[in-house]
Amino acid sequence: MSENIFDAFKQKILSKKFSEGTISEVEGNIEIKTPYAVGNINFHDLEVKIVEMIVTNLADDENKFYLHFELRDLKHAEELFFDMLNTMIDLKNQQKIKILLSCTGGMTTGYFAEKLNDAAALLSLNYEFNAVPFYRLYEVARDYSIILLAPQIAYQAKNAQDILSDKLVLKIPPKVFASYDSGEMLNFIRAELNNWKKTSAERIIAKVRAGLIKNDAKILSIVLLPSSYQTRIAYRIYQNGEPIVEETVIKGRLNVLRDLQDILDTIPCRFKNYDAVGIATAGTIHDGFLELRSFMLQDINLQKFLEEKYKVPVTITNNLKAAALGYYVQQDKYENILFVSRPYGFRSSGMGMVLNGKVFDGAHNMAGEIRYMMQSVVAPEDWAKNFVADPEKVLDAISFEIRAGISIVDPQLICVRSPMTPDLEKIKDKVKEYIPAEYLPAFVYLREEEMPEYALLGQMILSLESLE
């Protein structure tokens, strides 16, 4: 069976009926075509048999699903195949580039959106326009790629771009808006979108360099970044403190044990061996066990399981603690740092602490789990209603969390990752309502794309320390 497992899996795929498109074999690989996405399943016969799955959204040419795994279990392979198909089906309603217009009340932009939809249909452009009053912008913006702000609220553009850091936020030119010039507006959007794509790589350039860290060990550093709608798993192999290999898995739901095994199984035959593994993940880690039940982790000692299977030391850390350490090592001014993180759409923050130059875990590795305190402060019925999409409510919550951190830890620096509250002056003003200004630490704001950079670096260092 092992000799023909590629063929067996291909036949299973080719036998499936897919009403949304076609499944065919192309030069030994599998291609899945729909009007809105293309899926590719590539087979690599290396030291072991590796399958690579990719889904590309035709609306923006971006990968929405990417993973690789060793093919040895057909049932597992089929599960990942169906996860891939579900991603493609989900893209059916995203095949158009969705653009959201916003003004004070939504009426004038609503009319303009109708005109733009008519013009886009006439020109066969892959755009879909909708409008929303500004007070609802952050509630619905997640489903859109481009945000257009009317001239009367153009002053909100910087704040909106900070909050919606992964989207293109534009101010509608006043002359275009006043005349409802659909043609000129479409030309403006296309030009800005092309420019944004060209410069996006520059915006994501790593700010952290590990060149000062010298060690001969090869460290595989992995950071798990789950969310309610997409999972990203970034990993790097470091040698002598320098990254030599890096990739990011993009998939739907997170299955911690399976996803980690897929990475650990395939890396040796693709990039050779590693000496130790460091894993930075959401959740609480205690004696090798990971409390992250909402993401399908079996009730096992994860550290022990991975060490016994892969015969290398494994270090598992909360991703905020790793990120706090990653930030600490690339500066030389502060010894006590509090990393406060509240991702977009999350109900409470998490905290990572570096005290006197060392990551602080606490007795049960739950230091910084601020959610336990917030559950007693905010009524359950208020979580989703007020503390997810309302910037003012998020500001209230994160300022409370920061005050708690300052009162207990008294840090020299607070790193804030909170796209809903990007204005540090507002945060500090809110905190100063309760804590005297002379007791406030320094603040620094970190963007979404910086989180994996710091977490990967910090986790690599923790792995080196564990080897020593």
Over residues 336-385, the pLDDT tens digits come to: 999 999 877 777 788 999 999 899 998 888 888 888 787 777 666 666 56
Q: pLDDT of 342-355, one tens digit each?
A: 877 777 788 999 99
Which among 440, 355, 375 has a CA at the least distance from the CA of 406?
440
Question: Per-residue pLDDT for 155 more than 50?
Answer: yes
CA-CA distances (angstroms) from residue 322 to 352, 381, 453? Answer: 8, 32, 10
Predicted confidence at residue 292, as pLDDT, reads 75
Predicted confidence at residue 384, as pLDDT, reads 56
The CATH number corresponding to 97-203 among 1.10.10.10, 3.40.50.10380, 3.40.710.10, 3.40.50.2300 equals: 3.40.50.2300
Predicted confidence at residue 202, as pLDDT, reads 39
Average pLDDT over residues 197-208: 39
Predicted confidence at residue 47, as pLDDT, reads 83
pLDDT band for position 204 (50/70/90)? very low
Predicted confidence at residue 212, as pLDDT, reads 46
Average pLDDT over residues 412-423: 89
Residue 313 CB-density burial (10 A; 0-12 exposed, 13-18 middle, 19+ buried): middle
Question: Per-residue pLDDT for 3 more than 70?
Answer: no
Give the C-alpha separation, 443 to 427, whole Å. 10
Give the C-alpha separation, 164 to 148, whole Å. 12
Question: Per-residue pLDDT for 93 more than 80?
Answer: no
- Bridge-partner residues for 413, per DSSP? 337, 442
Which homologous superfamily is 218-467 in?
A: ATPase, nucleotide binding domain (3.30.420.40)
pLDDT band for position 215 (50/70/90)? low
The whole-model pTM stands at 0.71
Helix (H) or strand (E) holding 330: none
Q: What percentage of the chain exceeds 70 in pLDDT? A: 89
Predicted confidence at residue 208, as pLDDT, reads 36
Predicted confidence at residue 418, as pLDDT, reads 87
Question: Per-residue pLDDT for 26 more than 90?
Answer: yes
Residue 194 CB-density burial (10 A; 0-12 exposed, 13-18 middle, 19+ buried): exposed
Q: DSSP 3-state assignment of 67?
A: strand
**Strands, DSSP E only, in 72-173?**
97-103, 127-133, 146-149, 168-171
Question: Per-residue pLDDT for 288 more than 90?
Answer: no
The chain-wide mean pLDDT, for the chain, equals 85
Domain ranges, ordered by start, for the chain: 2-93, 97-203, 218-467
Average pLDDT over residues 453-458: 90
Predicted confidence at residue 209, as pLDDT, reads 38
Q: pLDDT of 117-154, one tens digit each?
A: 999 888 877 789 999 999 999 888 877 889 999 999 99
Predicted confidence at residue 348, as pLDDT, reads 78
Written as one letter, the residue type at 283 is G
